[in-house]
A = this chain, B = another copy of it.
Amino acid sequence: MRESYRVAVVGATGAVGNTMLQLLEERSFPVASLKLLASHRSAGEILSFKDTPIIIEELTHDSFEDVDVVFSSAGASVSREFIPTAIEKGALVIDNTSAFRMDAATPLVVPEVNMDAARAHNGLIANPNCSTIQMMVALKPIYDVAGIKRIVVSTYQSVSGKSGRAVMELVQQTTEALEGKPVTLDKFPHQMAFNVAFDWPFLDSGDNEEEVKMINETRKILEDDTIGVSATTVRVPVFFAHSESINIETDEKLTAAQARECLATAPGVKLMDDPSNQQYPLAVDVAGEDDVYVGRIRDDASIDNGLNLWVVADNLRKGAALNAIQIAENLLSA
């Protein structure tokens, strides 16, 4: 890496932006200067980085002068409007929104999985969807040794994947529900307290946008259009960390024991699989951790080459900010 970089964080006040600041500090990312960018509404607010107060600036097309690296997580429409300018000004942009993920010219990258793809960038690398990232980290080592024909995944996604305000709404709804009051519906279309629900826009196919992301991004990251993916994405009343029930059909037979062996040394994976001693990953334990936790690896006798896995990761860290920073770290150190 060069000695240090002028960094800009777009969407600094959001849940991902906040985690980004924490991680830049935690990981001693070589920050020469830090520009925090947000909407007009948040401009003038102050956030802290390494005990130094930084005033949030309004994001404009002039924001990217003298910036080396941009981490963007303010929503797809903001990315679509401003990222071209940032690239033009010569910045390396890591975008955490869906804006450019399926753009053929933009690499979609999970460092443990396809870092090579990132090196062909034209100034922009897309960070995959949170639920895709953790699935890819867990499945790539298996894909490499046994091939994967098909994935059937059902998710248990935390509300922080929606927004920081959604976290507060779950707190509020929970308090209201315990008091027997009607729950406030603002960020969520349905009661989220003591419920499981869907809160992503639906397409004509009946899939929601999150499900389609998991399907398309998996294929792009693995560079394999033959892989079948069926996804059902569900929001659960959990604050942090997404859990996934993943069933796969491999090309070659891989037993649960072999899969465990394969994942034990896999990059970014923490194997936690001893159910008889109550050892398996749980969202409340994995929240705040960097690794993708994998447990409950089981032979699935319903087909010849079937396996089940339970995969949990912190959606704001590995599912978003951490993955983005790792991409930058890898590219800049190359």
Residues of A within 8 A of B (CB): 150-152, 154, 156, 170-171, 174-175, 178, 189-191, 194-198, 202, 204-208, 215, 228-230, 232, 234, 236-239, 243, 245, 247, 256, 273, 275-276, 278, 280, 282-284, 296-303, 306, 308, 310
Contact = CB atoms under 8 A, between A and B. Distances in A.
A196 B243 contact: yes
A256 B195 contact: no
Contact of A247 (B206, B230, B243): B230
Given A195-B282, A230-B302, A154 B151 contact: no
A215 B275 CA distance: 19
Contacts of A298: 205-207
A236 to B, nearest CB: 6
A237 B237 contact: yes
Contact of A228 (B175, B194, B239, B301): B301
Contact of A308 (B204, B228, B232): B232
Contacts of A170: 194
Contacts of A280: 198
Given A196-B282, A207-B298, 7 more contacts: A171-B178, A189-B278, A230-B301, A232-B296, A234-B243, A237-B238, A245-B245
A196 B156 contact: yes
A284 B191 contact: yes
Nearest to A233: B245
A236 B156 CA distance: 9
A237 B194 contact: yes
Contacts of A306: 230
A280 B235 CA distance: 14
23 contacts: A150-B303, A152-B247, A154-B232, A156-B156, A156-B234, A156-B236, A189-B278, A190-B278, A191-B282, A194-B283, A197-B282, A198-B296, A206-B256, A206-B275, A206-B297, A228-B301, A228-B302, A228-B303, A230-B247, A230-B300, A230-B306, A232-B245, A245-B245
Nearest to A243: B196
B276 A202 contact: yes
